[in-house]
Structure 1
Amino acid sequence: MSIKVIKNDQDYQEALQLVGELMDKNPAVNTPDSETLELLTVLIEDYENSVFGETIPDPIDALVFRMEQQNLSADDLVPYIGSRSKVSEVLSRKRPLSINMMKSLQDGLGIPAKVLLNQSRGLQQEKTDFLKLPIKEMLKRGYISAKNFEYELATFFNQLNGEQNILALASRTHYIRSHKPMNPQAFTVWVARLLNRASEIREKVNFNHSKITQALMRSVVDLSDEEDGIIKAIDLLNSVGVIVIVEPHMPKTYLDGAVIMIPGKNPVIGMTIRHDRLDNFWFTLLHELAHIALHYGKGTSIFYDDTEYLDVEDSREKEADKLALEVMIPTERWKDSAASIVPSPDAAIMLASELSIHPSIVAGRMRRERQHYYFLNTLIGKGEARKSFSDINWS
């Protein structure tokens, strides 16, 4: 592999392509490929600095400058951006540039791709080491494609990089509940994927926090024993403005669920179903919903949860656990039931029947209370939760 100083645009484009190919391989540290990647990065940065100067222009500033140069109005941008409303949102920085917009602006107005891609530079510098991103996994899942690698990698993180910079927000106002260290790059990719999918939902119901009541939460639990109860529960939450996204966890992230609460936007609950058990699904969903009920607008905006990690000291996690457990099985009903005394399948089924909820919820409570996870295995719905999402590739 011949590496040379970048002297012109052709050399520059070839170097970018080579970087994409090397990143596809996700090379280990201190290997020939990783060293080549580092060298190419330095050469590319040197060339960019010589062409663009030390600071690459902001893409919106560059677009406005080009409009002034060519005496263009906002209406003149419609062919490149898509509609008058989108043009307005882009110019006011309320909508990030999409891949297609970037291509159109590059081809039609001659704005360099590197300038247009600069909207994600703050994310790269502030939080994410792009060389450590799980590129192979992202390609495997179809998050990005090799064909439009550079565009798609940059735009993949657009939802994290607006006026409400989610990663900057997360660095101050998030809580991770887990007993294992998370891979920060894989973690960031999963969050970006959640927000990307949420942004693609066209018809969103306006969120009203006053509707997130214990009565609503109990309505969710009541659906657990119905056919297609999981889908009905998600639809119910969507109807009150809570977006629920099921997205498999990334390797080394150890997440069951998360809730992202951004002021002025719909709360987003992310579910990984990594354990593929009904008891875990229902508790995680109610736990994240409890965070919305209890903690929306109170500082911490993002909670990431391994809900089977019980040794937590954070008061907000304890509050969410308590509310979720109470809504699923009221304390008085639990104390008066045989299930609280005798760890038998019959006791679990009897209480579930009395409450009209799925037996897995009672079995999960029984296992949790005793912190013994070797009994009632036939009642926890092992292998049943993912069946509701046959369109997802779980491999």
Structure 2
Amino acid sequence: MTLGAESLEYSPHTSAPPGETLKETLEALGITQVDLARRTGFSTKHVNQIIQGSAVLTPETAEVLERVTGVPAALWNTLEAAWRTQAVREEENKKLRIHLDWLDKFPLAELVTRKILPDRSKSVENLRLLLNFFGVANPEVAEELWAGYRIAFRRSGNIEPNDYSVSVWLRQSVRAARKIECQPYRRHELIRLLPELRALCRRNPETWLTELPLLCARAGVAVVFLPALKGTHISGATRWLTTEKVLVALTDRHKKDDRFWFSFFHEIAHVLLHGKRLTFLDDDPMKYDEDPAEDEANRFAAEMLIPSKYSYDYERLRIRPKPFVKIEEFAAMVGISPGVVVGRLQHDGALPWSEGNGLKQGFKLTLDELR
């Protein structure tokens, strides 16, 4: 069978119908179709249909052909399966072709950078790869699935995100989290680890990115660090993968340690305090949010970083935060990084957003952090 250019584009490994091989085999053996019909007990019409590819070459037929031609039945079965698979693929390509505009909704350049797609072409093969990435049959199914998921999404922040970019980021985070080996989720173990997790904020970012996932995995929390796609406006997310494993995904949206640690403990609050059926997508957790769950997560993060037992000392610092050595001394006393204290003072209006940033630790995630 001769395939056209379109078929070759979407099926680089093309297959011929097994009937062509059967025809060549008969010619080599000097057996006519009529003679084959006599030897096999098939009708001449059925033999011709097999050769033309209009009749299925069944496993039973393959066994008979092995006895008559000497060609193993396994080879006939393989040829038939490859041919039928290709035929189904070509029919599926025709159906997918009408959905090519769906690709326009995604940031194709970023999908190439993340190795989700090989190039930016608006092709059936790329559409197929994107559907494979999301684990859905077609774009219509994907849209219906996401519409159902949104009922279980809790989104903080007032910026309208690009939902398609968000879907890519969340899916990539979920796929990465599934590869992380974790102990079954144990709430008491996560609570026990909180002081150790908090102490890491005094260390450098390279230590966080290594130690946080290892520690959290002991309690059933798969921590993923993944840069957000443009237009997502995401700082972090929490999603239960199973009843015994939860994803906490973090981005480098603000690229400073104060936002990172607040976001981290904000997501941990969702794990400890809120339902397993919800997915939380958080824009800027330090902003006020009317959602009770988001407000509760904010209060948890604030208490984790600067516990209320230090309220008196913090109030004194808030009234007079300069010189900055006072911030460093308070941070050492409390056991957190100076950058986190600066972020809190800025949030509370004690410092302008332009002051004290030299005490913050900057960091930037790359796709190399994706595990």
TM-score interval w.r.t. the shorter chain?
Answer: 0.5 to 0.7
Question: Distance in 2 between the 1:114 and 1:334 partners?
Answer: 68
The within-5 A match list for 1:303-382 is: 303-307=280-284, 310-337=287-314, 338-344=316-322, 345-370=324-349, 372-381=352-361
Aligned counterpart, 1:189: 168
Q: TM-score, normalised by structure 1?
A: 0.63
Question: Distance in 1 between the 2:59 and 2:185 partners?
Answer: 42
Change (3 A) 1:152 1:294: same
The within-5 A match list for 1:112-191 is: 112-113=88-89, 129-146=102-119, 149-158=126-135, 167-191=146-170
Question: Distance in 2 between the 1:166 and 1:293 partners?
Answer: 27
Q: CA deviation at 1:150?
A: 4.2
Q: CA deviation at 1:281?
A: 0.9
AA paired with 2:109? Answer: K
Change (3 A) 1:167 1:332: same
Regions of 4+ moved over 6 Å: 114-118, 159-162
AA paired with 1:206? Answer: P
Alignment gaps of 5+ in structure 2: 12-57, 61-79
Q: CA deviation at 1:179?
A: 1.9
Aligned counterpart, 1:13: 7
Q: CA deviation at 1:153?
A: 1.6
Report if aligned partners of 2:235, 2:252 keep a CA contact under 8 Å in 1.
Answer: yes
Q: CA deviation at 1:115?
A: 7.9
The alignment partner of 1:270 has SS state of strand
The within-5 A match list for 1:182-221 is: 182-201=161-180, 203-213=181-191, 215-221=192-198
Number of equivalent positions: 289
Q: CA deviation at 1:361?
A: 1.4
Alignment gaps of 5+ in structure 1: 1-7, 18-68, 72-104
Report if aligned partners of 1:159, 1:192 keep a CA contact under 8 Å in 2.
Answer: no
Question: Distance in 2 between the 1:175 and 1:192 partners?
Answer: 16
Q: CA RMSD in A?
A: 3.7
Q: CA deviation at 1:16?
A: 5.6
Report if aligned partners of 2:222, 2:245 keep a CA contact under 8 Å in 1.
Answer: yes
Q: CA deviation at 1:251?
A: 0.9
Q: CA deviation at 1:357?
A: 1.8
Report if aligned partners of 1:145, 1:152 keep a CA contact under 8 Å in 2.
Answer: no
Question: Distance in 1 between the 2:90 and 2:130 partners?
Answer: 13
Change (3 A) 1:15 1:140: same
Q: CA deviation at 1:333?
A: 0.6
Larger Rg: 2
Report if aligned partners of 2:266, 2:285 keep a CA contact under 8 Å in 1.
Answer: no
Question: Distance in 2 between the 1:194 and 1:253 partners?
Answer: 13
AA paired with 2:318? Answer: S
Question: Distance in 1 between the 2:221 and 2:240 partners?
Answer: 10
Q: CA deviation at 1:352?
A: 1.1
Aligned counterpart, 1:243: 222
Aligned counterpart, 2:238: 259
Report if aligned partners of 2:286, 2:298 keep a CA contact under 8 Å in 1.
Answer: no
Q: TM-score, normalised by structure 2?
A: 0.67
AA paired with 2:307? Answer: P
Question: Distance in 1 between the 2:248 and 2:155 partners?
Answer: 15
The within-5 A match list for 1:23-38 is: none
Q: CA deviation at 1:136?
A: 2.0
Question: Distance in 2 between the 1:208 and 1:296 partners?
Answer: 15
1:31-68 Cα deviation digits (max 9, x unpaired) = xxxxxxxxxxxxxxxxxxxxxxxxxxxxxxxxxxxxxx
Question: Distance in 2 between the 1:116 and 1:237 partners?
Answer: 43
Report if aligned partners of 2:318, 2:345 keep a CA contact under 8 Å in 1.
Answer: yes
Aligned counterpart, 1:223: 200
Question: Which of residues 252, 260, 270 is equivalent to 1:291?
Answer: 270
